[in-house]
Amino acid sequence: MRCMLEISGKHQDQSDEALLQLYLRSSNLELLGELYARYMHLVYGVCLKYLENREDASDAVMHIFEKLISEIPRHQVRNFKSWLYVLTKNHCLMELRSRKQVRIRRAEIKKELEFMESVDEMHPLDRDDHSIENELRECIRRLKEEQRSCIELFYYQNLCYREIASKLQMEEKKVKSHIQNGKRNLKICLENSHARKEET
């Protein structure tokens, strides 16, 4: 990593504060490189601790050096080593936060894709597909009375199982059974309707 920075070693006897002031006056990156090189092994150690990957830690070391160029002029750095530690730690935490957000977004996208794929497998009643509304209504009309009543109350009047059971004076498990059987019969009816259309 040291070879990636311009380090002459001319100012080994200078203190951190003196070298930092020289850099601030001259903007000479060689001076900043020499100052940073003194603590690069510490920066790498902190990065490795947080990022848990040697390659990522090495990349972070170089990114942090690049960050020094913009950050140092904006701060009054009194103790370079302590300030550098805080900067390194914050950089690693931001990187971890970014990774977490990427993972969360990937999980969200995966869920969205799974939902989109499952929509086609959902029952037409659950999809709220207006393009087949007329066919669906006709198929509902053909259902047995109990199935038709339960379907209409559940899907079109938004009543819960308990409310439907009370209204129709039947057990809740009967309501669930009528809805389940009704949905199955509706699907068959719609499939037959589409098959007839394709034949004509």
Are 24 and 48 found together in one domain? Answer: yes
User: Is this model's pTM higher than 0.85 or not?
Assistant: no
Final residue in a domain of this structure, among 117, 147, 180: 117
Are 82 and 134 found together in one domain? Answer: no
Are 84 and 176 found together in one domain? Answer: no
pLDDT tens digit at each of 200 positions of the chain: 444 454 555 777 889 999 999 999 999 999 999 999 999 999 999 999 999 889 999 999 999 999 999 999 999 899 999 999 999 999 999 999 888 887 887 777 666 655 544 444 566 666 656 667 888 889 999 999 999 999 999 988 889 899 999 999 999 999 999 999 999 899 899 888 777 766 65
Are 96 and 111 found together in one domain? Answer: yes
How far apart are alpha carbons 171 and 197 in whole angstroms?
39
Looking at residue 174, which CATH number applies to its domain?
Answer: 1.10.10.10
Are 44 and 105 found together in one domain? Answer: yes
Are 113 and 129 found together in one domain? Answer: no
Are 33 and 113 found together in one domain? Answer: yes
| Residue appearing with tokens 């504060």 | 17
How far apart are alpha carbons 26 and 11 in whole angstroms?
14
How far apart are alpha carbons 16 and 18 in whole angstroms?
6
Q: Within 13 A of 164's CA, how many CA atoms are on the CB side? A: 25
Q: What is the pLDDT of residue 130?
A: 63
Q: What is the pLDDT of residue 155?
A: 85
Q: What is the pLDDT of residue 119?
A: 43
Final residue in a domain of this structure, among 71, 97, 117: 117
Are 112 and 150 found together in one domain? Answer: no
Structural domain including 194 reads 124-199
How far apart are alpha carbons 122 and 132 in whole angstroms?
14
Q: What is the pLDDT of residue 57?
A: 93
Final residue in a domain of this structure, among 60, 88, 117: 117
Q: How many domains does the chain have?
A: 2
Provide the H-helix boundaries in the chain. Answer: 16-26, 29-37, 40-51, 54-71, 80-119, 124-127, 133-141, 145-151, 161-168, 172-199
Are 40 and 107 found together in one domain? Answer: yes
The amino acid that residue 3 corresponds to is C
| Residue appearing with tokens 């092994």 | 41
Are 153 and 95 found together in one domain? Answer: no
The amino acid that residue 55 corresponds to is E
Are 141 and 77 found together in one domain? Answer: no
34, 94 in Cβ contact below 8 A? no
How far apart are alpha carbons 7 and 35 in whole angstroms?
9
Are 108 and 12 found together in one domain? Answer: yes
Which element (helix H / strand E) includes 8? none
